Structures are given as structure tokens and as C-alpha cells.
Amino acid sequence: MSEIKLLALDLDGTLFTKDKQVTVENREALKAAETKGVHVVITTGRPLPAIDHILKDLGLLDDKHYSVTFNGGLVQRNNGDILVKKEMSREDIEQVYAAFEPLGLPMDVLSDGIVYGVPSKG
């Protein structure tokens, strides 16, 4: 039987309750996992600064822990150091826009910490 080394958890619908809280039971389970040497990783669509309070609350806000943010686009230590960054090319963005625009779906592009809203024509 293999030993678990890493536990990756999404926030919404997984770690959070409906009111965006972490239950006492989940807190205890995460601490127990860490005590056994399991690395706890938060995965989210949010940027790191938006989950800072959660990381602090769970005792994960340091340079030994990391999170997967922007839906996998950025992996960084919880102190902010970037480990892996996946960027989209302009052509990639144009393809996404071409799919979203006929549907009237909103689209935002994040570049160097600035969010650009791309208006739809629908």
C-alpha cells in the first residue's frame, strides 16, 4: 500500500461549507494529515492574495507550503514565490474569445496582476 504524500483541495464545494467556512472537523483532519507528513495544497481559481486569510487561518502561510492558483495557471509558494507559471499566448486568447463571443459570455484576461475585461458583443 502506498503512503499519501500530498492532499490537494479545492475551496468552493470541497473544503468550504456553503457559507465559505472551514469546519472544525476539516481543520483537525488537515492538521492530522500534516502531522503525518502529508503536504496540504490549496487549489483554486482565485489569486494567492485572495486566499491569504484562509492560508493564515489554516497555518499554511509560509514558504514551505504552496498553492495552485488561477485554475492551474500559477503554482506558487504561499509566500508568493512563483514555482510554475502557465501563460496563454495572444493566439490562445483569441481562440477562447472566438468561442465565448458568439455565446455572449464574459471574459477577463489577467496579465501581471491587472485584470482586463473583454467585452462581449452579445
Predicted pLDDT of residue 1: 47
pTM above 0.85, yes or no: no
Find the Cα–Cα–Cα–Cα dihedral 13, 14, 15, 16, rounded to 10°: 10
Checking if the pLDDT of 121 tops 70, the result is: no
6-85 CATH pick, 2.130.10.10, 3.40.50.1000, 3.40.605.10, 1.10.10.10 = 3.40.50.1000
Is residue 62 annotated as part of the catalytic site, yes or no?
Answer: no
Cα separation, 35 vs 106, in Å, equals: 43
> Domain locations in the chain?
6-85, 88-122
Instruction: Compute the 3-state secondary structure of the chain and give helix, strand, coil in percent, each to the nearest 5.
Output: 35, 30, 35
- HSE toward the beta carbon, residue 120, CA cutoff 13 A: 14
What CA–CA distances, in Å, run from 26 to 30, 87, 90, 101? 6, 33, 41, 40
110 vs 101, more confident = 101
What are the pLDDT digits (tens) for 5-63? 999 999 887 888 788 888 889 999 999 999 999 999 999 988 899 999 999 999 999 88
Residue of 10, 52, 62, 112 with catalytic role: 10
Cα separation, 36 vs 29, in Å, equals: 11
**Are 76 and 63 within 8 A, CB to CB?**
no
Checking if the pLDDT of 99 tops 80, the result is: yes
